[in-house]
Amino acid sequence: MAITEVERRRGQLAALSIAAVVIIVGVPLWWRTTETYRAWLPVSQIKDLAKLQLHLSADVEVVFARGTVTPEQQKKVPLTQTQDEEHTVDEDTTLRYRYETKYRTATIMEEDALKKPTAAEADLSLHMLSESPCGSLVVYVIPESSSLLPEDVNVYIGQRRTALVRISAQMRVGKTLEQLLAQLEPQIKQVLQVMSFSHTDITVALSDRVRFRPGNKESIADSMRAFKSSPGYEITFSLLNPDPKSHQLHWDIEGAVQTYIQPLLTKLSPLANFSMDSQTLYYTMLGVTPRFDSSFEAYTLNADSLAHVINPVEARLGSNAASSNPVLNFLLYVPDIRHSPLYIHDHRKQEVPSNAFHSPRWGGIMVYNVNGFYGSETEFPVHVNINMAKVMGVFLAQLRLLLGVQSLSPPPGFLVAPCGSTGLADWELDRLMWSRSVENIATATTTITSLAQLLDQIGNIVINDNIAQQVSSAVTSLQLAMAELEVGNLGFALQYSKEAILASEKAFFDPSLLHLLYFPDDQKIYA
């Protein structure tokens, strides 16, 4: 009996030991090995980004040339003034602008530069003296007696980050420096609206985050026309020859790209990477049959039919399946002999001077007539050397619009210098960088907050370390981008905003998330 009692107690102890091991070791181990792994995310910082407060700072230097300030006014220069503006876009988005304006008198070398015969030469000479940092402006105030500007022009916008503003003698005589600056302020503000960011531009750049509030029709049209911000773009030039039996076409596309397009893309390199290719397509017709207009003695395409031109042609263009970057298409169409000459007409039935049109976020098409090569004794096929300067002038203008370089209408009394051989003025690049930086920040914050909300709602989805790293990287880059915008470092702000959007999209579209993201609970089997 004693042995039986001992064995019974031993069995009880063994059972209790096994139960203890199961409870103390097995249950936690089972819980650990079967739980959904969810790496740590900076949730509090993401919630802060949901309430976006953007601070943009621009530095403006106003330089008074000889004869623009009295000796009494000059005693109070140099001087620095700061102006702040705040705009509430919606309940979750606030914009604050800070303009720091420094006033000083011109140096001897700047005075010499301002004595050049033309404003363009003065702009170049001033640029050679000192190059203004990205995102900043220098405004030179010149006297009424200066011959740099025509009589009907009060403000000259150069190719760099420099502007010339003319003031009359009545503005300075018998006034204090504070009164003079108050009278100058409206013109300086107009210069800023043209050469730097404007509230309308920044609001439009936030379109991924906030709902449009129509204000400036031109800015809205520009934003709908331009491609969205992207790390890279593919540019394809296509020559369409629907009648190779009649036309033997030659176009020096490689040389033309290097001469006309590459300088612009080199200047835009801080914004994105660009790759280009070209092709020639034979027997490719437009999707619309042109109509003969006896009053013009030519075939015409009216504005209403242009929308039907692209789809049939697009099917022949092909696509780069290896790249996810947007594609900008530029097509040069040479009409066949039966529909030549061919002209594009606008909504007012007027001939379009460029004989070209563009489609928002797609590209442009130019019609190139070669009927001038035809004669009574012409032998076919006709050998045609295409005037690439004419063609690239049109494509360059379309490329600027499609990449977001806005077509501005300067205020009365303003003269804007041509953009030069690069196809883009320095201040135009700055305007685009301001907009792209804000657009990238808006897109990245929307992406990262949406991802955080989805992961919070779906509790059993795995969050691996790679996703957590990308999310943290996106949040850090966003914080750095906004900090650089606040102090006016536009170049760094753009770079960090690009890193933020890349990291946020990598996290959002991670393959490990996609197969579980929308998997219904009622189809899950638990062991």
DSSP, residue by residue, 242-310: S-TTTEEEE--HHHHIIIIIHHHHHHTTTT-EEEEEEEEEES---SS--EEETTTTEEEE-GGGGGGTH
Give yes or no for a contact between 510 and 470, defined as CB atoms under 8 angstroms apart. Answer: yes
Identify which has the larger pLDDT, 445 or 221: 445
Q: What was the pLDDT predicted at 515?
A: 59
Task: For 128-146, write each residue's pLDDT tens digit.
Answer: 888 888 888 999 999 888 8
Taking the alpha carbons at both ends of the chain, their separation in whole angstroms is: 45
Q: What was the pLDDT predicted at 262?
A: 94
The one-character DSSP state at 25 is: I
Cα-to-chain-centroid distance, residue 60: 23
Give per-residue burial for 321-337: e unless 16+ CB within 10 Å, then b. Answer: eeeebbbbbbbbbbbbb
Ranges of beta strands (E only) in 66-126 are 79-90, 93-105
Task: For 262-291, write each residue's pLDDT tens digit.
Answer: 999 999 999 999 999 999 999 888 878 888
Q: What was the pLDDT predicted at 516?
A: 56
Rounded to whole angstroms, what are the CA distances from 519 to 312, 478, 525?
Answer: 39, 31, 12
Q: What was the pLDDT predicted at 371?
A: 81
Give yes or no for a contact between 248 and 381, defined as CB atoms under 8 angstroms apart. Answer: yes
Section 445-456 average pLDDT: 89
CA 432/CA 445 separation, integer angstroms: 20
Task: For 243-252, write each residue's pLDDT tens digit.
Answer: 888 888 999 9
Cis ω on the peptide bond leading into residue 312 (within 30° of 0)? no
11 falls in which pLDDT band (50, 70, 90)?
confident
Cis ω on the peptide bond leading into residue 78 (within 30° of 0)? yes
CA 146/CA 143 separation, integer angstroms: 6
Rounded to whole angstroms, what are the CA distances from 408 to 365, 369, 376, 402?
Answer: 23, 31, 47, 14
Q: What was the pLDDT predicted at 276?
A: 92
Q: What was the pLDDT predicted at 213?
A: 57
Per-range mean pLDDT, top range of 347-351, 376-380, 467-471, 510-514: 467-471
Which residue is associated with the tokens 């000796």?
71
For residue 385, what is the enclosing H or E element?
strand 382-385
Identify which has the larger pLDDT, 177 or 219: 177
Q: What was the pLDDT predicted at 524?
A: 52
Identify which has the larger pLDDT, 398 or 304: 398
Cis ω on the peptide bond leading into residue 290 (within 30° of 0)? no
Residue-averaged pLDDT of the chain: 85
Section 503-521 average pLDDT: 73
For residue 342, what is the enclosing H or E element?
strand 342-344
Q: What was the pLDDT predicted at 92?
A: 85
CA 314/CA 443 separation, integer angstroms: 29
* Residue 120 pLDDT exceeds 60: yes
Identify which has the larger pLDDT, 319 or 87: 87
CA 156/CA 137 separation, integer angstroms: 13
Section 160-183 average pLDDT: 81
Torsion angle of the four alpha carbons 267, 270, 271, 273, in this order, in degrees rounded to the nearest 10: 80
Q: What was the pLDDT predicted at 527?
A: 44
Cβ contacts of 458 within 8 Å, gap of 6 or more: 516, 517
Dihedral of alpha carbons 520, 522, 523, 525, sign: positive
CA 163/CA 62 separation, integer angstroms: 10
Q: What was the pLDDT predicted at 439?
A: 93
Task: For 396-441, write each residue's pLDDT tens digit.
Answer: 999 999 998 877 788 888 999 888 888 899 999 999 999 999 999 9
| Angle (deg, nearest 10), helices 426-457 and 177-195 | 70
Task: For 53-96, write each residue's pLDDT tens digit.
Answer: 999 999 999 999 888 887 888 888 888 889 899 988 888 889 99
